[in-house]
Amino acid sequence: MMAAITIQALPHKITKSYVDRLSTPEAGQAFVRDSELKGFAVRVTSTGAKSFILEKRIDGKVKRLTLGRYPELTVEQARKEAHKLLGHIAVGRNPPAEKKQEALKGTTLQEAFEDFIKVRKNLKPRTLYDYQRVMQVVFADWQNKAMLEIGKDMIAKRHSKTGAERGEAYANLSMRFLRALFNFAIAQYEDDSGHAILRENPVMRLTQTRAWYRVDRRQTVIKPHQLAPWYQAILSLKQDQLSKQSALVADYLLFLLFTGLRRQEAATLKWSDIDLNDRSFTLTDTKNREPLTLPLTDFISDLLRSRKAATDSEYVFAGDGKAGYLIEPRRQVQKVTELSGVSFTLHDLRRTFITVAESIDISAYALKRLVNHKMTNDVTAGYIVSDVERLRKPMEEISAQLLRHFEINEEKKVLKFPVHQNP
């Protein structure tokens, strides 16, 4: 049995037998440099792993290039690779930079998305959720594909396919996301000269060929005559004993309708944001990034007091997922639609709130403040301060009008519906 060789500082000709006999350092790593080829060496770690390296000054700095691990790479193969790289360096090439550039060229869609969400730290939870869903649903088979391999024709075909299978609006949404991801990659990944690895955004094909679907903005609301049966369905949902979430979702839908909030603003509302004594609540994370305090009507105050007594969550509308709050109550919304015959989306409730407010001539300034719309082009609005108490009266008027549409007896708070006789 051949004795182990203690690693020394002096260079030695690197051969297979010599590498096999090298001892393992007690800690860290040690190097044995070749006596024949300058810069060629063997690195040995405390775990016993051995690999070949090449050390060479490139662009004024000493670089250490890993050639490969032993014994997967033989001494002869490593020496040959070292000669090859030295030749490249001699003619002015930069192998480390070229290797980095090749790695960047191979950046996959999934890797770019991971970098994207690391940089975009302020993405709202709902936005991040939507992006993740698009990656899983529309681009599942592209996640391990290099971005350089995703061409214009592929974009056009996937846009068309998604439109046919999932709807034109969703197809546009998915491609807007992909366009943003490519724009990020163009700015993020550069070679050593500062030039973008990706030179163009292939999603621009849709703009150049005018292939985007024309999707009209939704203008749907729950009409006045539909509000009574809709409310009856809400009460049925609230009394559903088969699901503990049913009553919570019923309250959530009513809260959306009576406040005009966006669904995410309401879903992420915490009890710490609500002051039941002052009958007000504060939105700290709004779409326009400006916090807003609004009044609570009598109807919503009663609803929240009942809700608070039935939960121990920090969120007003708690969810079963790890986010902690209600995400997407599709099943319950579908049940209300089936019971009432009124098809609606969560955003329809916001539009209904605005429509009812306009029908009773609520001040435009008050309404814009209630729904947190900016008034950047209105000089007069800049001089109007709409505090909570000034907004309380218009909020109560909107609430009263909704209750009238519900056909509620104000004294007994009982829903008045005709009794259906059995045939």
**pLDDT band at residue 401 under the 50/70/90 scheme:** very high
HSE toward the beta carbon, residue 124, CA cutoff 13 A:
14
pLDDT at position 383, please? 40
Residue predicted with more confidence, 327 or 139: 139
- Taking the C-alpha atoms of residue 293 and residue 390, their distance in angstroms, rounded to an integer, is 12
Say if residues 309 and 193 touch (Cβ distance below 8 Å).
no
Q: What are the tens digits of pLDDT across the range 82-109?
A: 888 888 877 777 766 666 666 667 889 9
Q: What is the mean pLDDT of residues 331-338?
A: 94
Q: What are the tens digits of pLDDT across the range 20-44?
A: 988 888 888 989 899 889 889 999 9
Handedness of CA 392, 396, 402, 408 (dihedral sign): positive
pLDDT at position 126, please? 76
Q: What is the mean pLDDT of residues 288-304?
A: 87
User: Which CA distances in Å does 416 have to 227, 229, 231, 390, 411?
Assistant: 13, 10, 11, 33, 12
pLDDT at position 414, please? 42
Q: How many CB atoms lie within 10 A of CB 34?
A: 22
Of 271, 319, 263, residue with least CA distance to 296: 271
User: Which CA distances in Å does 210 have to 187, 207, 241, 285?
Assistant: 25, 5, 51, 36
Q: Above 90 in pLDDT, residue 410?
A: no
**pLDDT band at residue 418 under the 50/70/90 scheme:** very low
Q: Which two three-digit tokens encode residue 308?
A: 């608070």
Q: Above 90 in pLDDT, residue 183?
A: yes
- Taking the C-alpha atoms of residue 394 and residue 367, their distance in angstroms, rounded to an integer, is 8
pTM: 0.57
pLDDT at position 110, please? 94
pLDDT at position 255, please? 96
CA 194 from chain centre, in angstroms, equals 29
Q: What is the mean pLDDT of residues 174-186?
A: 94
Residue predicted with more confidence, 199 or 331: 331
Q: Which residues contact 82 (CB under 8 A, 6 or more apart)?
A: 37, 39, 40, 52, 54, 67
Tell me how many helices (H) and strands (E) the chain has. Answer: 16, 9
- Taking the C-alpha atoms of residue 29 and residue 6, their distance in angstroms, rounded to an integer, is 13
pLDDT at position 103, please? 60
What percentage of the chain has pLDDT greater than the value 90?
52
Residue type, 130: D
Q: Above 80 in pLDDT, residue 411?
A: no
Of 422, 406, 395, 401, residue with least CA distance to 342: 406
C-alpha radius of gyration, the chain, whole number: 33
What is the set of domains in the chain, with CATH numbers? 16-93 (3.30.160.390), 109-208 (1.10.150), 224-415 (1.10.443.10)
Q: What are the tens digits of pLDDT across the range 361-377?
A: 888 878 888 887 655 55
Average pLDDT value for the chain: 85
> For the ranges 54-58, 171-175, 181-185, 342-346, which has the lowest average pLDDT?
54-58
Burial class (CB in 10 A: 0-12, 13-18, 19+), 191: middle
Residue predicted with more confidence, 314 or 243: 314
3-state secondary structure of 409: strand
**pLDDT band at residue 6 under the 50/70/90 scheme:** low
DSSP 238-293: HT-SS-HHHHHHHHHHHHHHHH---HHHHHT-BGGGEETTTTEEEESS-TTS--EE
pLDDT at position 373, please? 62
Q: What is the mean pLDDT of residues 297-323?
A: 91
CA angle 260, 266, 267 (to 5 degrees): 145
**Scanning the structure block, which residue is given the tokens 């070949």?**
52
pLDDT at position 2, please? 55
pLDDT at position 196, please? 79
pLDDT at position 241, please? 75
pLDDT at position 382, please? 45
Q: What are the tens digits of pLDDT across the range 228-277?
A: 999 999 999 998 877 778 999 999 999 999 999 989 899 999 999 999 99
